[in-house]
Amino acid sequence: MRDVAIIGVGAHASGRFLDKPMKALAYPAIWGALDDAGVKATDINVAYVGNSLGGLLTGQEGVRGQVVLQHSGITGIPIINVENACASAMTALRGAWLEVASGAADIALAVGVEKMNVGDSARTIGALSGVSELDLSELGMQFTTSYAIHPKINLKSRMAEYGWTAADFAKPAVKNSYNGSLNPLAQHRRPLTIEEVVQSRVIVDPLTLLMCSSISDGAAAAVVCSADIAKKFSSKTHITIAACVLQSGVYRLPGDERPDSATTSAYAAYEKAGIGPEDLEAVELHDAMAPSELMLYERLGLCGPGEGPRLIDERITTLDGRVPVNPSGGLCSRGHPVGATGLLQICELVWQMRGEAGKRQIEKRPKVTMAQNQGGLLLGQDSAVYGCTILKS
Amino acid sequence: MKILNPDNLRVPTEPGKTPCLLGNRCRDCGIVVFPKMPVCPSCHTNGAMVEVEIGRTGKLYSHTISHFAPAGFTAPAFQIFVDLPEGPRIFSLVGAGLPVERGVLEDGMEMQLVVEPLADTPEHRDELTYKFVPANGART
């Protein structure tokens, strides 16, 4: 396998853009990435386009990638449509990485785009329920519920098990809202306080409104190429993909003692990259509900069981900490346009590694970073998709 | 009225018979799954799954109150996971007769299966499905 470099990234702001169809959201992200990389539309050999809900919500059931890319002047090449729930964009990146790593292509494009605001939030929530296996969603089960009480996540039980309080649950939301307030592309840019997060309306007990990521439109893209030709196009910081791991959930019965799938995907990535969790200098992770960040600290090996709140209290994962987590604002503040999120994470890491992150720039430019992305829900008591990418400069 | 998913739920008409869920047990490794699937997800054997009646009772694993609902459902509503004695841990709704308040359910309590309309809405009023209720009445 060849080494693969990321030479260009681009993103559309996340938020509510009722008048913009998918292709209009994707266009600035795609051309942001092409211009950033210094490549032309005709330099792209192959493209992967991640999207999750566009079929149900916009009616464009098929060929969304071809539609979106034609609008941006990219035609004729192989275009692969990727649906992997909230990990669609990470899956698209993996496709692009694999094309280049294998030698099948020299330059590949990964795009993630999502159009969630369609003027009817009940319809959007209904569509989102559809990324859980139908046997669950047809009973009215929602994603928020899964974060609250699903056996693999069960944030509610962690309150009892570890003594975590509502204030602990609010800590990642508060930390990330500060980061998001510094990010011009973020959906929510107001710094929050513990009190207002705890006291906001209960959505699914014990999760309150300000602990939940919201409905969001957005897009992101990355251009990857063989590492040995990267300098021909870009003189910016040379960033390589040290690992790009994708796993699917496994069927778990009560008492299943296998490690969590977020853990196995992260450790597979660590092994491929030849590093450990202690080497990470910045992390973007999948905090679809803010308190899940506390749990993911454990699963990625950043702390021991129950120690999540301490990492925020001791300013280890804050923007000025040893390993800043979600410097972009994460899913709750930056936004979670589901099929774009994985590449929005990659954009943020690339900007941080290059020193281009503006007011939220991590002071010591990180050289080893991780993006952790997951999505969907299966009957077998696991998420459907786990993605984990490690970048090095 | 029709059963939402007759492959999952048996509602006997004979007197004295109670409703139950329909799962699969693997003849090779013995695990029980719900809903049914043709290949054992544990030992991955194909063709060893046999239908079994399960889930007349269960134990509450976890519960929450959802304060918003997708189209066709109402809120607030309990959403729960139940451990069935045969092995599976399943998602379920709670029978409509219970007040939807904190303190009514307690993790670990014994539950029993009931058959009710999926939701009291025009979309789902005529669809029967399984739900669980506390076997010995609510806690308070």
pLDDT digits (tens, 9 = 90+) for A208-242: 999 999 999 999 999 999 999 999 999 999 999 99
- The B residues from 39 to 58 touching A (CB cutoff 8 Å) are 41-42
Predicted-assembly ipTM surpassing the 0.85 threshold: yes
Q: Are residues B74 and B129 in the same domain?
A: yes
B140 domain-assigned: no
Residues near A134 by Cβ (< 8 Å), separated by ≥ 6? none
pLDDT at A140 over 90: no
Strands B127-134 and A282-284: what pairing?
unpaired
Residue B32's nearest CA partner among B43, A324, A272, A312 is: B43
Q: Are residues B93 and B36 in the same domain?
A: no
Q: Are residues B96 and B64 in the same domain?
A: yes
Whole-number pLDDT of residue B140: 52
Q: Are residues B66 and B47 in the same domain?
A: no
Q: Residue A6: phi, psi to the nearest 5? A: -95, 115
Q: Residue B38: phi, psi to the nearest 5? A: -75, -20
Q: Are residues B32 and B48 in the same domain?
A: yes
B24 domain-assigned: yes
Q: Are residues B65 and B130 in the same domain?
A: yes
Cβ–Cβ gap A205/B64 under 8 Å: yes
B35 domain-assigned: yes
Distance from CA of A270 to the nearest CA of B (A): 27
Whole-number pLDDT of residue A166: 94
What are B119's strand-pairing partners?
none
Show residues of chain B in contact with A126, CB under 8 Å. Answer: 70-72
B139 domain-assigned: no
Q: Are residues B35 and B86 in the same domain?
A: no
Residue from the list B88, B91, B102 with its beta carbon closest to the beta carbon of A139: B91
- The CA radius of gyration of chain A, in Å to the nearest whole number, is 19
Q: What percent of chain A has pLDDT over 70?
A: 100
Q: Are residues B63 and B117 in the same domain?
A: yes
Q: Are residues B86 and B117 in the same domain?
A: yes
pLDDT at A52 over 90: yes
Q: What is the mean pLDDT of residues B27-47?
A: 96
Pick the CATH number of A128-212+243-392 from 1.10.357.10, 3.40.47.10, 1.20.1260.10, 3.30.300.90: 3.40.47.10
Q: Are residues B16 and B76 in the same domain?
A: no
Q: What is the mean pLDDT of residues A155-174?
A: 92
Residue A212 among the catalytic residues = no
Q: Which of A124, A135, A169, A205 to mutate to test the interface with B (most CBs of B within 10 A)?
A: A205
Q: What is the mean pLDDT of residues B16-23?
A: 95
Pairwise CA distance, residues A18 & A15, whole Å: 9
Q: What is the mean pLDDT of chain B?
A: 94
Distance from CA of A190 to the nearest CA of B (A): 24
Distance from CA of B13 to the nearest CA of A (A): 24
B16 domain-assigned: yes
Cα dihedral angle (A153, A156, A161, A167), rounded to 10 degrees?
A: 110
Residue from the list B64, B73, B88 with its beta carbon closest to the beta carbon of A253: B88
Residue A86 among the catalytic residues = yes
Residue B64's nearest CA partner among A191, A203, A306 is: A203
Pairwise CA distance, residues A175 & A319, whole Å: 8
Per-residue pLDDT of A275-305, as tens digits, reads 999 999 999 999 999 999 999 999 999 999 9
Q: Where in chain A is the domain with CATH 3.40.47.10?
A: 4-119+217-241, 128-212+243-392
Whole-number pLDDT of residue A126: 85
pLDDT interval class at B138 (50, 70, 90)? low
Cβ–Cβ gap B62/A149 under 8 Å: yes
Among chain B residues, the shortest Cα distance to A153 is held by B62
Q: What SS3 state is found at A47?
A: strand
* B121 shares contact with chain A (CB less than 8 Å): no
DSSP for B54-111, please give it: E-SEEEEEEEEEES---TT--SSEEEEEEE-TTS-EEEEEB-TTS---TTS--TT-EE
Q: Which of B43, B49, B79 to mutate to test the interface with A (most CBs of A within 10 A)?
A: B79
Q: Are the C-beta atoms of A151 and A50 separated by less than 8 Å?
A: no
Q: How far is CA A359 from CA A36, A68, A183, A356, in A?
A: 20, 32, 7, 9
Residue from the list B31, B33, B66 with its beta carbon closest to the beta carbon of A145: B66
Distance from CA of A378 to the nearest CA of B (A): 11
Q: Are the C-beta atoms of A9 and A214 separated by less than 8 Å?
A: no
Whole-number pLDDT of residue A384: 94
Show residues of chain A in contact with B81, CB under 8 Å. Answer: 149-151
Pick the CATH number of A4-119+217-241 from 1.20.120.330, 3.40.47.10, 1.20.1730.10, 2.40.30.10: 3.40.47.10
Distance from CA of B136 to the nearest CA of A (A): 23
pLDDT at A154 over 70: yes
Residues spanned by the domain of B96: 57-134
pLDDT at A153 over 80: no
Per-residue pLDDT of A57-98, as tens digits, reads 999 999 999 999 999 999 999 999 999 999 999 999 999 999
Q: Are residues B41 and B92 in the same domain?
A: no
Pairwise CA distance, residues A51 & A217, whole Å: 11
- Number of A/B CB contacts below 8 angstroms equals 96
Show residues of chain B in contact with A206, CB under 8 Å. Answer: 64
> Among the listed ranges A143-147, A237-241, B50-54, B78-82, which one has the minimum average pLDDT value?
A143-147
Whole-number pLDDT of residue B139: 61
Among chain B residues, the shortest Cα distance to A147 is held by B64
Q: What is the mean pLDDT of residues B133-140?
A: 78
Q: Are residues B43 and B91 in the same domain?
A: no
| Residue with tokens 């739920």, as numbered in its chain | B9
Whole-number pLDDT of residue A366: 98
What angle, rounded to 10 degrees, do the helices at A341-354 and A88-101 form?
A: 60
